[in-house]
């Protein structure tokens, strides 16, 4: 009897503790803070007017379709004081023609007075993977925003990309860094400092008030110092794909060196201040294998990004444009059954909106 009671007590302790640890990790909401990062924004933007068209134009949004395709030429602009080697293919007049007085949009294009977005649906040269590139031009960084699931900061608070985007009137949205899956790692969104605890090996992306990007290691800088330097957004996922025009990932490098080589991917890059690239690829299906990090870096390089950064990928990778899904965020079953298009619930999105 004594043995039985001891055995049962220890067994129940094991089962109970294991169950609690799983619930604590995946279900229990932790570190919850009600911070509406999309209201009461009092951020000072250094509008880099040197990059902007002098005035908006009534030209049709389709005018920019051919000019924004990637080119192999490597023109450099002499009027960029931040990054002299960035690629910019349009004159200020041509850029001005992209913005329209009235809202113009279809399945792949959006344009208004301040925002121009064009979605390119592409397939890689090896004919293995579908990917989607959003070419984004803004008149102000204030339209480059982030949002949290349920407008609440915390772990295990999740929503689909489309739902977060709709709740915030997003025009174009991609998944963010899924900060809620981590206990540590800098989180700064729309100018709000939300989490300052550093992950020792994390490589972050800061987007500054003048529209520029910087890739840095959390071990090298405090979030407070980055915020004081004028950071508008900070993402903690990585790694950086391109820094100062150089691809900085190796051909076999993976996220934490634990992921499969080919995968769905989400990346963001900068061509010039207020000219950005969002890239999302499909993966893990027979139709679309997915990319290695190095292949993503090469694509971003082809689009002339001088800095590019990897965000959360895999089942999280989602691009949502004007009330429809652009990519196919499949969640394979693992038994070889047909995959279903289904968005994963995530912590945060990056979006373009007003």
Partner 1 sequence: MTLFISENKKAFFRSMWIYAGATVFTAIFGIVYEHFSLGVYSLSMQLAWLYPLLLGTGICAIFAFVPIKYLPGFLPFYIYNFGVAIWTLRSVFIGVIEIYGTTNDLMVIIYTVLGILATVSSLCLYGYGLYIKSKGNLPSK
Q: Which residues bind partner 1 (CB under 8 A)?
A: 2-3, 6-7, 10, 13-14, 17-18, 21-22, 24-26, 178, 181-184, 256, 258-261, 263, 284, 312, 314-315, 332, 334
- Which of 111, 146, 118, 112 minimizes the C-alpha distance to 132? 118
- Determine the Cα–Cα distance for residues 318 and 329; give it in Å rounded to an integer: 6
Q: Give one DSSP letter per residue of 70-123, joined into a string.
A: --S-----TT-SS-TT----S-HHHHHHHS-SS-EE-SSEEE-SSEEEEEEEEE
- Which tokens is 8 given? 């049962």
Q: Which is nearer to partner 1, 182 or 253 (CB)?
A: 182
Q: Which is nearer to partner 1, 17 or 43 (CB)?
A: 17
- Determine the Cα–Cα distance for residues 142 and 44; give it in Å rounded to an integer: 9
Q: Which phi and psi (to 5°) does residue 143 adopt?
A: -90, -5
CB of 313 to partner 1, least distance (A): 10
Half-sphere exposure of 351 (CA within 13 A, CB side): 28
266 DSSP β-pair partners: 280, 311
Q: 3-class DSSP state for residue 313?
A: coil
Q: Which is nearer to partner 1, 183 or 220 (CB)?
A: 183
- Which tokens is 128 given? 């293995």
Q: 3-class DSSP state for residue 224?
A: helix
CB of 217 to partner 1, least distance (A): 18
CB of 299 to partner 1, least distance (A): 20
CB of 260 to partner 1, least distance (A): 2
Q: Which is nearer to partner 1, 219 or 260 (CB)?
A: 260
Q: Which is nearer to partner 1, 116 or 291 (CB)?
A: 291
CB of 294 to partner 1, least distance (A): 16
CB of 258 to partner 1, least distance (A): 6
Q: Which is nearer to partner 1, 59 or 255 (CB)?
A: 255
């Amino acid at each position: 009897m004594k043995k039985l009671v001891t055995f049962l007590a220890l067994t129940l302790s094991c089962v109970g503790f294991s169950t609690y640890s799983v619930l604590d990790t995946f279900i229990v909401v932790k570190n919850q803070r009600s911070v509406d990062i999309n209201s009461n924004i009092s951020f000072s933007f250094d509008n880099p007017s040197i990059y902007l068209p002098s005035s908006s134009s009534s030209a049709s949004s389709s005018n920019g379709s051919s000019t924004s395709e990637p080119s192999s030429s490597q023109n450099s602009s002499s009027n960029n004081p931040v990054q002299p080697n960035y690629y910019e293919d349009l004159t200020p007049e041509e850029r001005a023609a992209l913005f329209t007085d009235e809202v113009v949009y279809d399945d792949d294009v959006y344009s208004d007075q301040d925002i121009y977005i064009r979605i390119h649906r592409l397939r890689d040269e090896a004919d293995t993977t579908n990917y989607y590139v959003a070419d984004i031009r803004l008149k102000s960084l204030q339209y480059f925003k982030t949002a949290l699931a349920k407008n609440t900061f915390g772990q295990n608070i999740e929503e689909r990309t489309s739902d977060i985007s709709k709740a915030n009137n997003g025009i174009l949205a991609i998944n963010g860094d899924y900060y809620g899956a981590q206990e540590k790692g800098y989180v700064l969104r729309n100018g709000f400092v939300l989490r300052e605890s550093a992950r020792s090996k994390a490589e972050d992306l800061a987007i500054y008030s003048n529209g520029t990007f910087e890739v840095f290691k959390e071990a090298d800088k405090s979030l407070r110092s980055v915020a004081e330097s004028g950071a508008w957004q900070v993402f903690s996922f990585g790694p950086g794909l391109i820094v100062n025009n150089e691809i900085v990932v190796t051909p076999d490098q993976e996220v934490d060196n634990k992921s499969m080589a080919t995968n769905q991917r989400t990346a963001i890059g900068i061509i010039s201040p207020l000219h950005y690239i969002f890239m999302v690829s499909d993966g893990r299906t027979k139709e679309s294998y997915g990319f290695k990090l190095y292949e993503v870096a090469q694509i971003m390089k082809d689009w002339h990004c001088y800095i590019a950064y990897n965000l959360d990928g895999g089942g999280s990778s989602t691009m949502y444009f004007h009330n429809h899904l652009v990519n196919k965020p499949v969640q394979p079953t693992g038994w070889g059954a047909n995959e279903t298009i289904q968005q994963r619930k995530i912590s945060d999105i990056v979006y373009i909106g007003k």
